């Protein structure tokens, strides 16, 4: 249901964009028509009406040479099979079957249209058309069209496009397009039998410098009969590229690791607060995350039904709500159950496990056992290309968000009175009590804060994970590993723990596979805990916090 609504919106957006393009396209052509002038252009047109492949081929080349603004529309029609000829006239059949005069774009009268036949093409002509379109649009002001054109030239590898390619390269400013053009140029040179060995070597060097997957493919498919030094150069370039790509690949994995690390950080940081401040093991922590995710779902439901315009802001509305709801449930749990169990950590563990079962089943009863669809706002979809890296916006948002939450919590703990009291209680509960801090109130608030943070973690996780009643369960063991590994009662330890585990996990994955990697990591942590039973940062605790 939710997916349907989402798809509907996506389609609306796309069809709107197409409509706009369709509206603007003809206007440009018609507007340019008035400045058309006769000359090589007319000669070229005549060649297209002779029903001879060689003439047609030459005509296409001449048309490109002419630089006439109508040329593109005509060649486009030739490719689409809608270019008609007869009586020394050229016409284009429009979408509704109405033909227009190819040179003037004015509609033809019905009698004229009757005797027209399509201009025929063979493979050679088709190649020429492809290259012609490519080289013509290489200079288009629209960046996307230039990119498409470069790709078209790359596919055709037609030497005829070389002059326009060089012209376009000279003035190209956009890096991405320039790379595509360079690829196309190198491909043409390598493919052309009569290009000089020097040019070919230069082309190989260019590809080597580009260093991407396309270049690697081009180098791997050198035409037969390449000279030994060319082959050697190509092999060397390939190796450089492969090494380069491996480096990017590793960087990409590190990024995935950081991204996983921030997810772990979000899930574990609330746990670090409750565990660190109160020594309370909260097995229901994962369910707080799950409740945050369901809050997001409910917020989006309301928005879809009542204020679709607000969809982009849904996450910002969900954040404070999730914090409050999860925080309130946390405080309720603390007041009703946990406070009777202080000093009995094992019992607390069991009781909160029971609570987690109740919360899971409660959500299952209310929302059903299946996954709920939480939508991603437009501004969070898509990806950022950074060299060989592809960073999706939602992951970037989560990484930034995790660090923001971390920084905020650090500030809260350091500069607010709640933070001061919490630190006092962490270090010496009895002393804090005797200087007048109401420790039980601080416990409740600290528990609420930890749970609230879990709630907002749920908002973030709803963007990358399935929102189901089991959401929390899948994070609880990992979160505990982070806290135990990082050291209890220290947010910096949690940060380092989360990032280490995240990156290690993703770096292990390519070698060991996802499951085995995770197992290896669990075993590594179990062994690590033997060495440092109180975690990475336990001893420096006070120093790092101060």
Which chain residues interact with other proteins by CB under 8 A?
281, 337, 340-341, 343-351, 353-362, 364-365, 477, 480-481, 484, 515-516, 518-519, 522-523, 525-527, 529-531, 533, 539-540, 542-543
Name the residue nearer to other proteins (CB basis): 124 or 344: 344
Nearer to other proteins, 247 or 516 (CB): 516
Sign of CA dihedral 87, 91, 93, 94: negative
Neighbouring C-beta atoms of residue 162, cutoff 10 Å:
18
Quote the CA–CA distance of 330 and 339 in Å, as a whole number: 12
What is the DSSP track for 366-423? HH-SS-B-----GGG-SEEEETTEEEEHHHHHHHHHHHHHHHHHHHHHHHSHHHHHHH
Q: Given the complex with other proteins, which of 141 and 533 has the nearer CB atom?
A: 533
Nearer to other proteins by C-beta: 86 or 345? 345
Q: Please report how close the Cβ of residue 235 comes to other proteins at its closest, in angstroms.
A: 36
* Of 425, 471, 478, 418, residue with least CA distance to 448: 418
Min. distance of Cβ 443 from other proteins in angstroms? 17
Which one, 96 or 543, has the nearer CB to other proteins? 543
Instruction: Give the C-alpha separation, 271 to 478, whole Å.
Output: 11
Of 220 and 523, nearer to other proteins (C-beta) is 523
Please, are residues 129 and 156 in contact by the beta-carbon 8 Å criterion?
A: no
> At residue 70, what are phi and psi to the nearest 5 degrees?
-80, -15
Range 48-53, long-range pairs (CB < 8 A, 24+ positions): 48/74, 48/78, 48/83, 48/85, 48/90, 48/119, 49/85, 49/86, 49/88, 49/89, 49/90, 49/119, 51/85, 51/117, 51/119, 51/120, 53/120, 53/121, 53/122, 53/124, 53/125
Smallest distance from the beta carbon of 497 to other proteins, in angstroms?
A: 13
Write down the least CB distance from residue 348 to other proteins, Å.
Answer: 8
Tell me whether residue 546 is exposed, middle or buried, using C-beta atoms within 10 angstroms of its C-beta: 0 to 12, 13 to 18, 19 or more. exposed
> CA–CA separation, 231 vs 227, rounded Å?
6
CA 240 – CA 225 distance, rounded (Å) = 23
What six digits make up the tokens of 309? 């315009």
Pick 151 or 529: Cβ nearer other proteins:
529
Type and span of the H or E element at 86: strand 83-86
3-state secondary structure of 240: helix
Tell me whether residue 232 or residue 523 sits nearer to other proteins (CB atom).
523
Tell the smallest beta-carbon distance from residue 356 to other proteins (Å).
7
Question: Closest CB to other proteins among 151 and 538?
Answer: 538
Q: How far is the CB of 464 from other proteins (least distance, A)?
A: 20
Which among 452, 454, 447 is positioned nearest to 425, based on CA atoms? 447
Considering the complex, what minimum distance in angstroms separates the CB of residue 257 from other proteins? Answer: 19
Shortest reach from residue 518's CB to other proteins, in Å: 6
Minimum CB distance to other proteins, residue 283 (Å): 8
Q: How far is the CB of 416 from other proteins (least distance, A)?
A: 26
**Residues near 47 by beta carbon (within 8 Å), at least 6 away in sequence:** 55, 56, 58, 59, 62
| Other CB atoms within 10 A of residue 104 CB | 12
Contact indicator for 456, 322 with CB cutoff of 8 Å: yes
Closer to other proteins by CB, 441 or 542: give it.
Answer: 542
Residue 451: how many other CB atoms lie within 10 Å: 32
Q: Compute the least distance from the CB of residue 288 to other proteins, in Å.
A: 15
Q: Between 255 and 275, whose beta carbon lies closer to other proteins?
A: 275
Residue 331 Cβ vs other proteins, minimum distance, rounded to whole Å: 16
Nearer to other proteins, 17 or 344 (CB): 344
CA distance 454 to 477: 14
Nearer to other proteins, 110 or 346 (CB): 346
Residues 6+ apart with CB under 8 A from 485: 497, 500, 501, 525, 528, 529, 535, 536
User: Distance between CA atoms of 5 and 165, rounded to whole angstroms?
Assistant: 44
User: Minimum Å distance from CB 280 to other proteins?
Assistant: 9
H helices, E strands: number in the chain: 23, 6
Cα angle 202-207-213, degrees, rounded to a multiple of 5: 165
């Amino acid at each position: 249901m939710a997916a349907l609504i989402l798809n509907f919106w996506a389609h609306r957006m796309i069809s709107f964009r197409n409509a706009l393009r369709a509206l603007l396209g003809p206007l440009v052509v018609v507007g340019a028509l008035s400045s058309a002038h006769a000359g090589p252009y007319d000669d070229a047109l005549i060649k297209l009406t002779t029903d001879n492949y060689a003439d047609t081929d030459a005509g296409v080349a001449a048309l490109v040479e002419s630089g006439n603004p109508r040329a593109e529309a005509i060649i486009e029609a030739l490719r689409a099979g809608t270019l008609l000829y007869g009586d020394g006239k050229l016409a284009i059949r429009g979408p509704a079957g109405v033909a227009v005069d190819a040179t003037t774009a004015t509609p033809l009268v019905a009698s004229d249209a009757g005797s027209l036949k399509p201009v025929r093409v063979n493979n050679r002509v088709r190649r020429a058309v492809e290259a012609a379109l490519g080289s013509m649009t290489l200079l288009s002001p629209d960046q996307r069209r230039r990119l498409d054109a470069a790709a078209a030239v790359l596919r055709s590898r037609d030497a005829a496009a070389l002059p326009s390619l060089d012209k376009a390269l000279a003035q190209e400013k956009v890096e991405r397009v320039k790379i595509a053009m360079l690829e196309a140029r190198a491909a043409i040179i390598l493919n052309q039998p009569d290009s000089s060995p020097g040019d070919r070597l230069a082309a190989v060097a260019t590809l080597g410098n580009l260093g991407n997957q396309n270049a690697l493919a081009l180098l791997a498919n050198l035409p037969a009969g390449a000279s030994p030094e060319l082959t050697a150069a190509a092999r060397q370039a390939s190796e450089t590229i492969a090494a380069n790509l491996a480096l990017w690949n590793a960087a990409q994995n590190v990024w995935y690791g950081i991204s996983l690390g921030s997810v772990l950080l979000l899930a574990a940081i609330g746990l670090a607060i409750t565990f660190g401040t109160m020594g309370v093991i909260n097995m229901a922590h994962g369910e707080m995350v799950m409740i945050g995710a369901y809050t997001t779902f409910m917020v989006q439901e309301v928005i879809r039904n009542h204020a679709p315009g607000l969809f982009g802001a849904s996450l910002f509305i969900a954040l404070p709500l999730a914090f409050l709801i999860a925080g309130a449930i946390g405080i309720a749990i603390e007041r009703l159950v946990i406070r009777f169990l202080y000093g009995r950590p094992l019992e607390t563990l069991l009781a909160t496990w029971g609570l987690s079962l109740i919360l899971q089943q409660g959500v299952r009863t209310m929302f059903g056992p299946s996954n709920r669809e939480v939508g991603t706002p437009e501004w969070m979809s898509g990806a950022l290309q950074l060299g060989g890296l592809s960073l999706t916006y939602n992951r970037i948002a989560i990484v930034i968000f995790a660090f923001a939450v971390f920084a905020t919590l650090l500030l809260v703990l350091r500069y607010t009175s709640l933070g001061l009291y919490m630190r006092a209680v962490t270090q010496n509960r009895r002393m804090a009590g005797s200087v007048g801090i109401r420790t039980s109130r601080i416990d409740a608030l600290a528990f609420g804060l930890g749970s609230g943070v879990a709630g907002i973690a749920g908002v973030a996780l709803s963007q990358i994970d399935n929102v189901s009643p089991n959401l929390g369960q899948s994070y609880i063991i990992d979160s505990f590993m982070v806290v135990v590994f990082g050291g209890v009662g220290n947010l910096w330890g949690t940060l380092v723990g989360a990032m280490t585990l995240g990156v290690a996990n993703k770096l292990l994955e390519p070698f060991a596979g996802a499951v085995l990697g995770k197992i290896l990591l669990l075993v590594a942590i179990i062994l690590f805990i033997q060495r440092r039973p109180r975690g990475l940062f336990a001893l420096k605790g006070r120093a790092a916090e101060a």
